[in-house]
A and B are shown apart, each in its own frame.
Chain A
Amino acid sequence: MSDNNLIIESSSQIKQFDSTSSVMWAVSLCLLPAGVWGVWVFGLKVLGVLFASILSAVVAEAAMAFLLKKNTLKDGSAFLTGLLIGFNMPPSIPYYIPVVASVFAIVVVKWTFGGLGGNFMNPALAGRVFVFFSWTGPMTKWTMPKTLETFDAITNATPLGHLKSGLLEYTGIVDRPARFLAETGYPHTKMDSGITTWLNTNMGLDLSHGYIDMFLGNIPGSLGEVSVALLLLGSIYLFIRKIITWEIPVSYIASFGILIWIFGGTRYSGGSYFNGDVLFHLFTGGLILGALYMATDIVTSPTTRKGMIIFGIGAGILTFLIRIYGSFPEGVSLAIILMNIFVPMIEQYTQPKRFGVQLKREGK
C-alpha cells in the first residue's frame, strides 16, 4: 500500500513523555534509596528478601502473560509489585513468605481480574496482608537496625509495637508515645541524641529522643518503610515529574495527622484532647511509604481529583482508627486496601462536571 514507513494513527499525533512503563520504572527508581538504606541497616540478608519477592513477582507475571498470550513484562508493574512486597517484609522473614505474597499478588489479585489495570486492589498490599494473616509470627518478628545499639531484650519491637504492648503493662503516667518510648528505655542512636539536644537547646524545642531516628530510619520495621527521609527524597522526583500528584498523599497525611492530633493523646493516662503525637505517627508504621507510594497506585485509586481527595481522607481515617483503637499497631495496609474497595463507589459520585451542561438544565 505504501512505500514508506510513516506511522498512521489517530490524533493526537504527539504524546506527552510518560507512558505506563516509564511511570512504573520511575516509581521503582525512586524507591531505590530507601531500599539501599534497608539493605545497609538490616544486612545483606535483606537483599535476598527483595530478590525473592521481585523475582517471584516477575516470574508469576511472565507465566500468566504466557498463559494468556499477552506481552506485559515490559510495563514494569510486576517488578514494582515485587519491590513493594519486599519493602513491606520484616528483614528476617524466611524467603518463602515474600514468594507466596508475590505470587498471590500477581496471580490472584491482579490476573484474575485481567492483569494490570483490571485489579481493584493494590496487589502488593493485598499480598502483604495475605501473608500477614497467614504467618503472623514471622511477619511481626523484627530486627534491630545495625545503627541502633541494642542493650536489652525488649528492643526487638517496632516503636508502634512497643507502644501498643508496652502500654498494657505500664502503670506510670504518660501523655505522648515518644516520651513513653524514651522513658521505658527504647534505644536511640548517638546521632539522635546529638541532634535532639542541639534542636532543644538552640531552636527552643522540647523534643523527646527518638524522632530523628524514626525520621532517618534507625528503627526496626519493614525493610523499606523505615527511612522516612529517603522515601520523601525519592518522592520529590515523582512530584516534579507529576507522576504522583498532591491529592492523595496530602489528604491522607493531613486527615490522619489531624485525627491523631485531636484524639491520639486520649489513649494515654496523662493525655488529653488536642495533644496527639503527630510526628511520631507520621514517622512510623510505614505511613509515608503507604501514603506516597502505595495509596497513590494509579490503578487502584480514584481517577478524579475530588475522588482522590475523598480516597485519601478515607485512608487517613481508617489508618487512624486501626492504629489508635484497633489491635494492630500499624494499619496502613489495611486502610488502603479497604479504601481500594470503596473506589468504584467514590467514582460514581465524583464524576467531572461537564462543560455546558448545567446551563442547559437551567435553560429548560
Chain B
Amino acid sequence: MKGLKTFNRGGVHPPGRKYLSENKPIKNAVISDLSVIALSQHLGSPSESIVNPGDIVREGMLIGKSTGFISGNIHSPVPGTVKEISDIYLPNGMTSKAIVIEMEGEFDRLGKETIETNWEHLSGKELIEIINSNGIVGLGGATFPANVKFTLPRGKKAEYLVINGVECEPYLTADHRLMLEKADQIIEGIKIIASIIKPEKLAIGIEINKENAIKIIKEAALRADLPLDVVSLKVKYPQGDEKQLLKAVTGREVPSGALPMEIACVVSNVGTVNAIYEAVVLGKPLIERVITVSGGAIKNPQNLKVRIGTPIKSLIEECGGFTEEPAKVVVGGPMMGFAIYDLDTPVTKGTSGILALTSKEVRGASQTACVSCGRCIAACPMGLNPTTLFKYIDHTEYENAESIGLMDCKECGSCGYVCLARIPLIQGMRLGKRMLRTKKVKA
C-alpha cells in the first residue's frame, strides 16, 4: 500500500461494503408509470416549469427552464401527460415544486439507434451551451451546474483538470461500474472538457479498492492517446471531496473559502463526464443516471440506470424489496446522504444511491453529553474542531463558530461518524451555517 497518494489531515475508514454491488453490471431500471420531476434538483435557483397540467410531453423535452446564472434546465425523462404540478419533499427535507408526469406514448430515444455526432469542430462556447441546454449538473453530489463550472472566470487559466473517480462513500459502486463499462465514453468526455478549459495536465484519481477500474481507464486512455495521469489513491474517506482529492493528486490546498479555480484546478466527477459525453456526442439531455441500490436490508443490491423522477419505492421493489425492516432508508451515501421516511420521494439528478440500512449497520446508541474524546478533531479533514463549533452553535454564538472556521465545513460526516456521544454534529453545522447566511442576508 506504500506510495499511494492521499490527503494528509483527518479522514475516517468506515466499512466499505461495496462488495454488495460492485460486481453487478449496470442494468436499466423499469420505468415507472408516474414520474415526479423536482424543479429544484441542482445547486442554485429552481427551474421554472414551462408546461401545464394536461400538456403532452415527449421524452427528453425541456420542461423546466433555467432561471439564472446558477440554475439548470430540466427535461422530461418519459413521454406522457403532465398530471399536475405539486409540492414535494426532496430527500434533504427541503420542499420543491415538481412536475408529475404520467407515462404514455412512444419513447423517442429509448430503444432507438443513437447517432454519434462529431464535436471536434465545436468551440468551447458552443460546447458549454450544449452542456447547459442539456441540463448537465455535477453528479458527484453537489449538483453544481456543469456549464458554470467550465466557464472559467476572465483571466483565469486551468492548469489541472482532475477527474473524480474516487467514490469514497461506502456502499456506492455506480461510478465504479461506469468506469468499468463506459471507459471509452469517459475518456471521450474528458477530451470534451479539456477542449473547453484547455488544461495543461489531465489526471483522474481512483481509490485502490477499484483496481480493475484503474487498469481499464489506463488502457482506455492509452487507446485514445490521451495523456491522462491515472492516480491510485489510498482508501480513506472523504477522499472524493474535491479539496481532499486535489490535495492528494496535485499537493495543492484550496484556500479556505475559495473554489478549486483559485489554485488553477477544475474537478469533475466521472458520472458528470459520462453525462457530458452523452449530451455532446449523443445529444441526450440529463434524464437518467446510474445509482446504487444497496444496504443490508436490500434483498438484491444492484447498480441501476434510472430515469430522474422515479419514486424510490419502485427501485427498492426492483431490487427484491427488503429482507428485513430497515432502520433507515438513505438517499445518497451513508456518510453524507439523507434519511427519508417517504418512499415515494423521487430520484433527482443528485441521487447517487439508495440504501436500506439495518440497525446493525447504523449502529445507533443513546446520545450523551460530549465527553471531549477529541475523535471528531482527529477525523476532520478540514482541520476544524467540530466539538467546539457545535458548542458555539448550541449556544447561538454563530459568529464565534464562524471565526474558527464553520464555513469551511463541508458536512462530510466524518465527525458525526466517530462521535462517541452520538451528537448530531452535522445537523449543528448546517444550522450554524444557515443562521449565519440568513443574518448576512438581513444585514
Interface residues of A (CB under 8 A from B): 1-2, 4-23, 72, 74-75, 114-118, 298-305, 307-308, 351-360, 363
Contact = CB atoms under 8 A, between A and B. Distances in A.
Nearest to A363: B255
A19 B420 contact: yes
B270 interface: no
Among B335, B338, B374, the most chain A Cβ lie within 10 Å of the Cβ of: B374
Given A298-B374, A352-B385, A20 B408 contact: no
Contacts of A1: 341
B341 A6 contact: yes
26 contacts: A4-B343, A6-B339, A7-B328, A8-B341, A14-B334, A15-B365, A16-B12, A19-B366, A19-B420, A19-B421, A19-B422, A20-B420, A21-B366, A114-B369, A115-B369, A117-B421, A303-B373, A304-B377, A305-B374, A305-B378, A353-B383, A354-B408, A355-B243, A356-B254, A356-B408, A359-B253
Given A10-B426, A11-B413, A303-B385, 11 more contacts: A6-B340, A12-B335, A13-B413, A15-B422, A21-B365, A298-B374, A303-B387, A353-B9, A354-B384, A355-B9, A359-B255
Contacts of B380: 352
Contact of A356 (B256, B326, B369): B256
A270 B334 CA distance: 66
Contacts of B361: 14
Contacts of A308: 374
A302 to B, nearest CB: 7
Nearest to A358: B253
Contacts of B247: 355
Contacts of A307: 374
Contacts of B371: 20, 23, 116-117, 298-299
A303 B414 CA distance: 16
A355 B253 contact: yes
A2, A8, A304, A352 — which one has the most chain B CB atoms within 10 A of its CB? Answer: A352
B382 A303 contact: no
A264 B157 CA distance: 64
A122 to B, nearest CB: 12
Complex A-B, nearest 3 residue pairs according to Cβ-Cβ distance, in ascending order: A303-B374, A12-B413, A19-B365
A356 to B, nearest CB: 4
B327 interface: yes
A160 to B, nearest CB: 32
Contact of A13 (B337, B366, B408, B430): B337
Contact of B427 (A10, A22, A115, A300): A10
A138 B313 CA distance: 70
Contacts of B381: 355
B30 interface: no
Contacts of A7: 327-328, 339, 362, 364
B372 A299 contact: yes
B362 to A, nearest CB: 6
B368 A15 contact: no
A355 to B, nearest CB: 4
B405 A357 contact: yes
A354 B408 CA distance: 9
Given A352-B380, A355-B243, A356-B408, A12 B372 contact: no
Interface of B: 9, 12, 14, 170, 243, 247, 253-258, 325-330, 334-343, 355, 357, 361-366, 368-374, 377-378, 380-385, 387, 404-405, 408, 411, 413-414, 416-422, 424, 426-427, 430
Given A352-B380, A354-B384, A15 B364 contact: yes
A261 to B, nearest CB: 30
B255 A13 contact: no
Contact of A117 (B255, B328, B369): B369
B256 A355 contact: yes
A13 B328 contact: yes
A214 to B, nearest CB: 32
Given A9-B339, A355-B253, A303 B372 contact: yes
B383 A20 contact: no
B383 A15 contact: no
A348 to B, nearest CB: 11
A72 B421 CA distance: 12
Contacts of B404: 351
Contact of B335 (A13, A298, A302, A360): A13
A2 B421 CA distance: 28
Contacts of B422: 15, 19-20
B335 A11 contact: yes
Contacts of B378: 304-305
Contacts of A363: 255
A23 B408 CA distance: 30
A72 B368 CA distance: 8
Nearest to B342: A2
A248 to B, nearest CB: 11
B411 A11 contact: yes
Nearest to A298: B373
A22 B340 contact: no
A162 B378 CA distance: 44
B416 A12 contact: yes
Nearest to B17: A14
A12 B374 contact: no
Contact of B417 (A12, A299, A353, A357): A12
A304 B341 contact: no
Contacts of A301: 372
B431 to A, nearest CB: 9
Contacts of A118: 369
Nearest to B237: A12
A83 B315 CA distance: 53
Nearest to B410: A355
B390 to A, nearest CB: 12
A23 B420 contact: yes
Contacts of A8: 328, 339-341
A156 B233 CA distance: 61
A10 to B, nearest CB: 4
Contacts of B430: 10
A17 B363 contact: yes
A305 B379 CA distance: 11
Contact of B327 (A2, A6, A299, A353): A6
Given A7-B362, A11-B413, A305-B378, A16 B255 contact: no
Given A355-B383, A356-B253, A14 B373 contact: no
A354 B405 contact: yes
Contacts of B336: 11-12
Nearest to B355: A13
A174 to B, nearest CB: 44
A306 B4 CA distance: 26
B241 to A, nearest CB: 10
Contacts of B341: 1-2, 4, 6, 8
Nearest to A72: B368
A31 B15 CA distance: 29
